[in-house]
Amino acid sequence: MGDSWKIVKRALVIFGLGMVLALYPKWDVGVVRIPGVLQRIAICYLAAALLFRWTAPARGNDDSRRWAQGRTLMLCAVALTLGYWGAMMLVPVPGGAAGDLTPDGNLGAYIDREDLRRASLGPVQDMGPEGLLSTVPALATTLLGGVAGLWLGSRAAGSRKALWMTAAGMLAMGIGLAWSLVFPLNKALWTSSYVWFTGGAAAVFLALCYALIDLRGWRAWSRPFVILGLNAIALFVLSGLMTKFLSFHKVTGPDGNPVSLLRYAYTTWFVPWRNRSTRRCSSHSRTSPCCSSCCG
């Protein structure tokens, strides 16, 4: 129970950070957009972590337990993506047609418009891509990560881990591409084909990193990425707050009119730098060493 409560608390913190980003800087709960990147991460993390704990077999050696649990999680991912595909392609919205994947006609957008509008304290803003129904296949993506973790934690030989993860990733990419013929790859809808294709691509890349870092010991190049990965949520929140701060706060622009700090920085620093680079390039051949370094 203690570990489960830790999972719940972490999910609540991530969800709360997402709501802070949604509310800042106006803090108007009447028009807040509830779905968001961190909110979806929190929900998927909560569901996947609890499912991971509940599906762990009580008996067997470590590898047999990992294999049984991985099979269960994989079956859950398959069921979630099949169910989502069936709902999106076979269930029509009122007044619409089944299989309509347009922003106004797909089932996920309809659920968001209706349910979230009722739950809101005021007019609901644009729903965006992190809606309720598409969280189902996003959970499948999270479970695929759990399966990969179980395989990497097994006692199999390192080369066998990398080889089989690469093969599984390529198979998943193939499934995603084949499925895209009837259910297109689409991030905004988080389609089932998108789940398997991107999950497969991530597995291939993870296998490559595992081979280079763990098997060959080439670790120095990865240090910056380790730091970013360990602080991913904090960096995401800080970057979002900074962007909103620069966009919301005004200063006096060169023409005397108020402009956002973001616009001011762009016109005052970046535009002159771009113009200077353009003038340097126009003064000599683009094939010269100078131009190849400043203009590409």
Per-residue pLDDT of the chain (296 residues; tens, 9 = 90+): 668 899 999 999 999 999 999 999 888 877 777 889 999 999 999 999 999 999 998 887 788 999 999 999 999 999 999 999 999 999 999 989 999 999 889 999 898 887 666 554 444 445 566 788 999 999 999 999 999 999 999 999 999 999 999 999 999 999 999 999 999 999 999 999 999 999 999 999 999 999 999 999 999 999 999 999 999 999 999 999 999 998 888 888 777 788 888 888 888 777 777 777 676 665 555 555 445 444 44
In terms of domains, do 12 and 101 share one?
yes
- Cα–Cα distance for residue pair 238/232, rounded to 1 Å: 10
Query: pLDDT value at position 293?
Result: 44
Q: Which two tokens stand for residue 291?
A: 């131009």
pTM of the entire structure? 0.84
Neighbours of 165 (CB within 10 A): 22
Does residue 33 sit within a domain?
Answer: yes
Are 273 and 170 found together in one domain? no
Residue 35, in any domain of the structure: yes
Q: Does a structural domain hold residue 240?
A: no
Neighbour tally for 216: CB within 10 Å: 10
Same domain, 134 and 175: yes
Query: Do the domain assignments include residue 30?
Result: yes
Backbone angles phi, psi at 63, to 5 degrees: -70, -40
162 and 266 fall within a common domain: no
Same domain? For 215 and 254 the reply is no
Please return the burial class of 20, using the count of CB atoms within 10 Å of its CB with bins 0-12, 13-18 and 19+: middle
199 with 121, same domain?
yes
Based on the fold, state whether residues 220 and 106 are members of the same structural domain: yes
Of 116, 273, 275, 141, the residue nearest 196 (C-alpha): 141
Q: Domain range spanning residue 199?
A: 2-229
Long-range CB contact pairs, 179-185, < 8 A, 24+: 179/85, 182/89, 183/85, 183/88, 183/89, 184/101
Do 218 and 269 reside in the same domain of the chain? no
Hey, which residues does 251 pair with through a beta bridge? 259
Q: Are residues 261 and 150 in the same domain?
A: no
Query: CA-to-CA distance for 235 and 37, rounded, in angstroms?
Result: 13
Is 238 inside any structural domain?
no
Residue 184 lies in a domain: yes
- Residue 98: the pLDDT is 93
pLDDT, residue 295, reads 47
Quote the strand ranges of the chain, DSSP E: 250-252, 258-260
Structural domain contains residue 241? no
| Cβ neighbours of 86 (radius 10 Å) | 11
Do 191 and 282 belong together in one domain? Answer: no
204 and 88 part of one domain: yes
Instruction: Say if residue 191 is in the same domain as residue 61.
Output: yes
Q: Which residues contact 264 (CB under 8 A, 6 or more apart)?
A: 251, 253
Whether 235 is in a domain gets the answer no
Query: Which token pair is 60?
Result: 């067997």
E strand or H helix at 234, and its extent? helix 232-248
Helix (H) or strand (E) holding 249: none
| Tally of structural domains, the chain | 2
Residue-level pLDDT at 271: 74
